Structure formats: C-alpha cells, structure tokens
Amino acid sequence: MTQPSADLREQFGDIDVYLFDQLLRGRITQGMKVLDAGCGAGRNLVYLMRAGFEVWSVDESPEMIARVRQLAASIAPDLGAERFRVERVEAMTLEDHSMDVVISSAVLHFARDERHWHAMVREMWRVLAPGGILFARLATTVGQARLQPLGGGRYVQPDGDTRFLVDHEQLLEVTTALGGSLVDPLKSTVVHDRRSMGTWVFCKPSR
C-alpha cells in the first residue's frame, strides 16, 4: 500500500492541497509563467517543473534557493539557475507584469509588521500580469479565540508560534484597494486549538 503514495509524492511533491485545487480547476495551465514567492525548498514546484511550466522562484535563504536549483537540475534541467533567486519577496528584481501566476504559500504570516506585510503583497502584485492570479495561503485570526496579541498585527497562536495574522475583512479591503477581484470566496481552515490557515485567491484586472 505504500507504493502508490510514493509515486504520487514523486509526481506532485508536497504540494499545498489548495494550490492543487487551482490546478484541477484549470486556473493554472501550461504556458503560464509561475512565480513562487518565498519558495522554501520548492514543495510547490515539483509538479510544475515536471509538467513543463515556466517556473521562477525567490527566497531570502541561499540554502533554500540552492535546494530548488538542485531540484530543477534533477527534474527540469532546461530551467536555468538564474530563474531561482536569493531575494526578499518585498524587493524582487523581476520585471513589472511579468508573471501569470504568483504563489505565496505560508509566507505572509512571517511579516515583521503591517508595513512589511503590505510591502510583500504590493511587490507580488507589481510583478503579476494583467489577468493574472495571486494565490496565497496565510495564517488568519478566523475561528481562533485563544490568540495572544503582541501588537502590530502579531499574535501568539494557540500552538505557541508567533505570526502576523489578518482576518477576512482585511483581505477584502486589500483586494479592493489593489483593484483586484476574488477568484474564490475567502476561506479559512481552523485547526482545533492550534491555528487557522486562510486561502486568498484573487486576480488582477485585464487591460
């Protein structure tokens, strides 16, 4: 019974299930330029690389980018190492409107404060092409009664981790302020007595 699981992991890696849902619904298709902003070790890039997507990624950790470059060399050698950059999400060197999809998976809740959070969102929006989709998974306050506020939007969650948290109203306000529109209704999954993880998928207006 272990072989099918191993085969699936080889094909899809540890892809976020909500990102996988966007693939299944045809929101992210071959031919699109996809940026993983804050890619870590590349957990969301395995399938995209295998499927021939035009993938780019940034992360502030040289170690993580080295691992992503090794991953690309093993499964998608045609992707040049220059696509995988040691950069902060709020200060990317990518061109304006250059990406069809931007992925932000478990990154925004590491913001230092509100200014840093907004800087990351604005920078991802800058590189997103008209008609493009920004997919974000981030911790939220939704359904959490035992949060310890530290000020500046940061909280200690029930699981003990400190994160920058937002609620759905804030996400709606930012979506409107950027001129975007939701692709899916906002949703947060509450992990009992630990945390709440939200899914925020919105698009840039077409020209």
Say what the pLDDT of residue 3 is: 53
Go through the chain and tell me how many residues it has.
207
How many degrees, rounded to 5, is the angle at CA 92 between CA 120 and CA 187?
Answer: 35
> Tens digit of pLDDT for each residue in 119-145?
999 999 999 999 999 999 999 999 998
Domain with 75, as residue range(s), is 32-203
Give the strand pairing for 99-105 and 33-37: parallel
- What does pTM read for this prediction? 0.93
pLDDT digits (tens, 9 = 90+) for 14-59: 899 999 999 999 999 989 999 999 999 999 999 999 999 999 999 9
Q: Is residue 25 part of a domain?
A: no
- Within a domain: residue 119? yes
- 194 or 1, greater pLDDT: 194
Q: What is the pLDDT of residues 164-183, one digit of tens each?
A: 999 999 999 999 999 999 99
In a domain, 96, yes or no: yes
Contact 111, 174 (CB under 8 A): no
76, part of any domain: yes
| 24 is a domain residue | no
- Asked if the structure places residue 192 within a domain, the reply is yes
Tens digit of each residue's pLDDT (9 = 90 or more) over 144-161 = 989 999 999 999 999 999
Strands 128-139, 148-151: pairing is unpaired
| Beta-strand pair 195-203/187-191 | antiparallel
Amino acid at 102: V
Q: Please check whether residue 26 lies inside any domain of the structure.
A: no
* 143 within 8 A of 165, measured Cβ to Cβ: no
In a domain, 3, yes or no: no
Whichever domain contains 147, its CATH number is 3.40.50.150
- pLDDT of 1 reads 43
Q: What is the phi-psi region of residue 179: left when phi exceeds 0, alpha when psi lies from -120 to 50, beta otherwise?
A: left
Structural domains counted in the chain: 1
User: pLDDT tens across 79-119, in order?
Assistant: 989 999 999 999 999 999 999 999 999 999 999 999 999 99
